[in-house]
Structure 1
Amino acid sequence: MAEPYYITTAIHYPNGKPHLGHAYETIAADVMARFQRLRGREVRFQTGTDEHGLKMAQKARDLGIPPRQLADEMSSFFRELFDKLNISYDRFFRTSEESHHRASQAIWKAMEANGDLYLDRYEGWYSIRDEAYYDESELVAGEGGEKLSPQGTPVEWTVEESWFFRLSRYQQPLLDLYREQPDFVRPESRRNEVVRFVEGGLRDLSVSRTSFDWGVKVPGAEDHVMYVWVDALTNYLSGLGYPEQTEDFAKFWPADVHLIGKDIVRFHAVYWPAFLMSAGIALPKSVFAHGFLLNRGQKESKSVGNVTDPGQLADRYGVDVLRYFLLREFSFGQDGSWSAEAIVNRANSELANSFGNLAQRVMSFIAKNCGGAFAASAPVQDADRALRDKVSLACAVELPQAFDRLAFAAGLEAWMQAVFACNAYVDEQAPWALRKTDPERMERVLATLVGCIRDLAIAISPVTPVAAAKILDALCVPEDGRNFAALSCDPALEAVRVETPSPAFPRLELPAEEAA
């Protein structure tokens, strides 16, 4: 039986159209999902939209439409973007689904049965934009002296009746969790941040609102709706059929990794495990918080006017190029800066000039000079074996080990070094010269290269699925031979057959307005 693997993104808040940060997180999760499928695991990949809360209610009111209408419209933009970006999700989840309301009420009842919910009065600072409560000590001063959240968002003093969750009860259990499972929160910088926060003391958390009604009703107190983060986090369970003991729930929970942005670590690494402990539900195996994408070093912001439409980037540069760039250019987990020049330079130097050109020139040479097929019979030489060992190490060991750590840039660097080794081998062996002096040796060189290109295409296929499939199609690799189990370190590939290829990674030109 295939080993299950469950990966989720944060469900995205659809009070505006999706931006590049949404694309970045979802592409990374998709690469992991595809990678694990190619290793033979049974994957469940969930993404979606978080549609309740005060922000959505206010945006809908401003537009003069019902919140549900706004949620339907905005959620469709996310689904359309993810389909364009070739995101292979198994479930696109919406928190407005009736089944999710039932699941959220079930986890609420479980926490209540454990004695962790009580009714009181909330007085404190609340950020509508963050949908988060902040202690006075966490606030910072704005340029005009106004109080702001740690994220720089406006806060307002809120007073209302509220249900509270006994978060304070879980301070020591959470600290024990972080100590016993040091990989529960990654990367380490985020783990340290979470530990410091919890060590500073936890106050009970307000978990309901009465000032609006767009949300999940609190069981037995329907003038209250649940704090949006209680119901948002529950999506990871309700997408598997919770509270029913479904086959999916039994198979995939606990999740292997919740992939999130660093700005929502507290909700996932403090509140969520506390809720689950209270409800008697197993905890996810890990939470990984990635950094922000910066536009030429500056955080994208609607007020600054530098928000990027990821769909337009995909149209301009190609989906596979965008996917590759976002995971190759900077370390996942840290902030990273992008620009049009960086995308074009990375795509041309590595995808077009290095790997794309390698595949194109080798397959075109075989099509032209060998009739597209031959059976190599010459003995394998040390140079052939050395190249296959280099490629096998990169594709079957170094890239998978790095991807397991979500260290995408490191894995792609190992892959790229193998591509460079193949290009050096072509120049050293010079099959165009061997065609005249030693045709049998030429065939062995070409067979070695075909085996390497096949393995390189399989290894990169989670990142650039369309281009990799194009190369594998031209190499006549069957569908059941395109997984990690098919990677071979054997340099003695005998039968070679190729079809006339077309460029998998065309060269890009910098758009005129960017060049200017």
Structure 2
Amino acid sequence: MSRDTYYVTTPIYYPSDKLHIGHAYTTVAADTIARYKKMQGYDTMFLTGSDEHGQKIERKAQEAGKEPKEYVDQIVATFKDLWDKLDIDYDYFIRTTEERHEKVVQKIFKKLYDKGDIYKGNYEGWYCTPCEAFWTERQLEEENGEKVCPDCHRPVEWVEEESYFFKMSKYADRLLEHIKTHPEFIEPESRRNEMINFIENGLDDLSVSRTTFDWGVPVPIDEDHVIYVWIDALSNYITAIGYETDQEKFEHYWPADLHLVGKDILRFHTVIWPIILMALELDLPEQVFGHGWLLSETGKMSKSKGNVVDPVVLINDFGKDAIRYYLLREVAFGTDGKYSTEALIQRINSDLANDLGNLLNRTVSMVEQYFDSEIPKPGAEEAVDKELIDLAAQTKKEVEAEMEELKYTAALEKIWNFVRRTNKYIDQTTPWILAREEEKRERLKTVLYNLLESLRITAVMLKPFLIEAPYKMGEQLGQLAAIEAADWEAANWGALKTGVKVYNGEPMFPRIDLEEYFEKIESRKKENEIEKNEEVNDLDLVDIKDRITFEEFMDADIRVAEILEAEKIEGSNKLLKLKVDIGLEERQLVAGIAKHFAAEDVIGRKILIVANLEPATIFGVKSEGMILAASDPEGNMVLSTVSSDIANGSQVK
């Protein structure tokens, strides 16, 4: 393959439900290497997409009372929304329900059949619907006396059906030879060894059609069968770039330089997919990289386990740059790592806010103070300056080396070593002391120029990793246009434009108080509970609860209260903060009624409240009681009031 193209792919994700932070991990990694290669001058192609056929989707759609295409359309929309929120700059989003893809998949099946590599037979074996994987008896695991899938550990089912089979065994020796003679083909090394062992234990021919469901690409030679996931989904990597439809484009980008996949689907991409390509007489991808899992506190994230972390919530709370930085910085790419909100906040505060943000703020502030915001021209170079300049050049080379091996964590650590060294340079040169003496003004110019140039170079090197920060830095440094146009070579020393104005903007990464954030999360949970309680009658009337005794009822101190003040709580569209008079005292309440009542409309009303409820903090606001209201199945709400005027604080008996 010529050096001027670079083709990188993510897996195509299965739209059975919304994506979690683990999916974002893979896609951010692919986006970063694509941006880096583009900065190096490569003609890049970055592919992602969705794998939309199969029995699991068919069942999910039935459960939701929808047609499969209608069901996947709404889930795929959430995929694209997430990639938009993370600024994923993909070149093409392929869907396996595209007509072009389906037609080419049928051509591929027919080619393999005509070649004699696909034959008809009968299948008997164990099948995992969630993973869409067949397993032999020896591959299964057992938990609590039940046979389970070795990947997801969920129960498998016995399947007997007519099937078309692909001759995997025919190509096993050829694939094994390729892996052994091309050690870079599977990375990291531990995964390569796993695949070698798997192949050496023997490959069975592969079932590539199904008759037990209809949601799939029809087999072109047999209308009773649909093409199974292996040929359908894996072929996306070539159908997306024009195989059988645009040969010039296909030959321009194929073979792929990099398939990025999670370790759980490595076998499909390093055994099944290469053998399909061999049978089609096509080149194999240059590399398949099987990265580790981003784990929750309770293990691998899974909707069925209820332990997933929603990346949309994190982006809304912390911003896309902070999430991208954390994903790439916290876990060495290739190994498993554990997601932690505490670790995320610590990274934001330490690396982004303190090391980088504070460096930018200090430097720009000194230029504003000492040179009326204008970038000065540097003077004579001293030893301490040369150390910084040499480190900048060394850092660029080291980042290049780390990126070639997809060592994102190490690449970012090299950049942050340079950032920390630049902070140290301030302490070494003490510009605030230089500014006191006129004869040292030329030296001060050099020091501030070097600080600004270090920040410019940092911004350039961060462009593949972060989306907003490099441009915010460029704006404050008066170098925005240069940063926007910067390729990788712009990270060389000496390109800073002098004589232009800097300005000190808002902090790029405000510090986050850990305790306050978790209080906010707890308040959000309680608000969600309130919302659920409000909406519980949306579909039908709720059954009457179990009977209570008169004494139990009397434990609730229900009183008349007059609403004195009301206002919406910032950041919530459901909550009002109320100040009420209950006769003996005035209290503050939080009520989930803002969707039904404007703040100004409830002032002066006399309502009923539970006065002896334990105080709670809801959305960061203290609430000392609960108002009584009623809602019907249509969602209409009324407040519980009294029929005529009565003193505030009167008890309901």
**Structure 2-normalised TM-score?**
0.76
Partners of 2:236 and 2:427 lie apart in 1 by: 54
In structure 2, relative to structure 1, the CA distance for the partners of 1:360 and 1:329 (3 Å cut) is same
Moved more, 236-245 or 192-201: 236-245
Partners of 2:496 and 2:447 lie apart in 1 by: 10
Partners of 1:189 and 1:234 lie apart in 2 by: 26
Alignment correspondent of 2:418: 418
8 A Cα contact 1:388 1:490, kept in partner:
no
2:518 corresponds to 1:512: yes
Which one-letter code corresponds to 2:469 in the other structure?
A: A
2:505 corresponds to 1:501: yes
Alignment correspondent of 1:68: 69
Alignment correspondent of 1:489: 493
Alignment correspondent of 1:467: 469
Partners of 2:330 and 2:146 lie apart in 1 by: 37
Partners of 1:481 and 1:384 lie apart in 2 by: 27
- How much does 1:247 deviate? 3.3
- Once the two structures are superposed, the pairs formed by residues 31-430 of structure 1 within 5 Å of their partners are 31-142=32-143, 144-151=144-151, 152-296=153-297, 298-394=299-395, 396-430=396-430
Partners of 2:332 and 2:45 lie apart in 1 by: 25
- How much does 1:436 deviate? 1.4
8 A Cα contact 1:324 1:464, kept in partner:
yes
2:443 corresponds to 1:451: no
Alignment correspondent of 1:29: 30
In structure 2, relative to structure 1, the CA distance for the partners of 1:363 and 1:156 (3 Å cut) is same
The alignment partner of 1:375 has SS state of coil
8 A Cα contact 1:475 1:498, kept in partner:
yes
The alignment partner of 2:46 has SS state of strand
The alignment partner of 1:23 has SS state of helix
8 A Cα contact 2:376 2:448, kept in partner:
no
| CA offsets 1:419-478 (integer angstroms, 9 cap, x no match) | 110000011101111111211101100111111111111111211121111101222222
Which one-letter code corresponds to 2:343 in the other structure?
A: A
Partners of 2:359 and 2:503 lie apart in 1 by: 15
In structure 2, relative to structure 1, the CA distance for the partners of 1:481 and 1:440 (3 Å cut) is farther
- How much does 1:496 deviate? 5.6
Which one-letter code corresponds to 2:487 in the other structure?
A: N
8 A Cα contact 2:298 2:307, kept in partner:
no
- How much does 1:307 deviate? 1.4
- How much does 1:110 deviate? 2.2
Task: Give the root-mean-square deviation of aligned CA atoms.
Answer: 1.7
8 A Cα contact 1:139 1:147, kept in partner:
yes
- How much does 1:298 deviate? 2.6
- How much does 1:515 deviate? 8.9
Partners of 1:59 and 1:515 lie apart in 2 by: 31
Unaligned runs of at least 5 residues, structure 2:
523-653
- How much does 1:376 deviate? 2.0
Partners of 1:31 and 1:475 lie apart in 2 by: 24
Partners of 1:241 and 1:493 lie apart in 2 by: 44
| CA offsets 1:218-271 (integer angstroms, 9 cap, x no match) | 111121111112110011111112112443212111111011111001110000
Higher RCO (CA-CA < 8 Å; seq separation 6+): 1
Which one-letter code corresponds to 2:65 in the other structure?
A: G
- How much does 1:491 deviate? 9.4
Larger fraction in helix: 1
In structure 2, relative to structure 1, the CA distance for the partners of 1:377 and 1:402 (3 Å cut) is closer
Which one-letter code corresponds to 1:502 in the other structure?
A: E
- How much does 1:495 deviate? 4.9
Partners of 1:368 and 1:93 lie apart in 2 by: 53
Which one-letter code corresponds to 2:493 in the other structure?
A: C
8 A Cα contact 2:375 2:502, kept in partner:
no
- How much does 1:494 deviate? 5.6
- How much does 1:312 deviate? 0.3
Partners of 1:199 and 1:222 lie apart in 2 by: 36
Which one-letter code corresponds to 2:7 in the other structure?
A: Y
| CA offsets 1:360-403 (integer angstroms, 9 cap, x no match) | 11012212321221432420111111101112211x21112111
The alignment partner of 2:126 has SS state of strand
2:432 corresponds to 1:432: yes
- How much does 1:514 deviate? 8.1
The alignment partner of 1:195 has SS state of helix
8 A Cα contact 2:121 2:163, kept in partner:
yes
In structure 2, relative to structure 1, the CA distance for the partners of 1:501 and 1:49 (3 Å cut) is same
8 A Cα contact 2:374 2:498, kept in partner:
no
8 A Cα contact 1:331 1:409, kept in partner:
yes
The alignment partner of 2:468 has SS state of helix
| CA offsets 1:397-422 (integer angstroms, 9 cap, x no match) | 11121111111111111111111100
8 A Cα contact 2:258 2:289, kept in partner:
yes
Partners of 1:494 and 1:392 lie apart in 2 by: 21
- How much does 1:303 deviate? 3.9
8 A Cα contact 1:448 1:493, kept in partner:
no
Which one-letter code corresponds to 1:482 in the other structure?
A: A
Which one-letter code corresponds to 1:418 in the other structure?
A: F
8 A Cα contact 2:457 2:493, kept in partner:
no
2:444 corresponds to 1:442: yes
The alignment partner of 1:202 has SS state of coil
8 A Cα contact 1:291 1:333, kept in partner:
yes
Which one-letter code corresponds to 1:462 in the other structure?
A: P
In structure 2, relative to structure 1, the CA distance for the partners of 1:116 and 1:377 (3 Å cut) is closer
Higher radius of gyration, 1 or 2: 2
Partners of 2:320 and 2:213 lie apart in 1 by: 40
8 A Cα contact 1:39 1:485, kept in partner:
yes
8 A Cα contact 1:385 1:491, kept in partner:
no
The alignment partner of 2:120 has SS state of strand
- How much does 1:302 deviate? 2.9
Partners of 1:491 and 1:374 lie apart in 2 by: 13
- How much does 1:153 deviate? 2.3
In structure 2, relative to structure 1, the CA distance for the partners of 1:186 and 1:366 (3 Å cut) is same
Partners of 2:155 and 2:220 lie apart in 1 by: 31
In structure 2, relative to structure 1, the CA distance for the partners of 1:319 and 1:247 (3 Å cut) is same
8 A Cα contact 2:403 2:411, kept in partner:
yes
8 A Cα contact 1:340 1:514, kept in partner:
no
How many residue pairs were aligned?
Answer: 514
Which one-letter code corresponds to 1:433 in the other structure?
A: I
- How much does 1:114 deviate? 2.3
- How much does 1:326 deviate? 0.7
Partners of 2:393 and 2:361 lie apart in 1 by: 21
Moved more, 103-112 or 226-235: 103-112
| CA offsets 1:288-318 (integer angstroms, 9 cap, x no match) | 1111111236322334322111100111111
Unaligned runs of at least 5 residues, structure 1:
none
Partners of 2:107 and 2:390 lie apart in 1 by: 54
Alignment correspondent of 1:476: 478
The alignment partner of 2:131 has SS state of coil
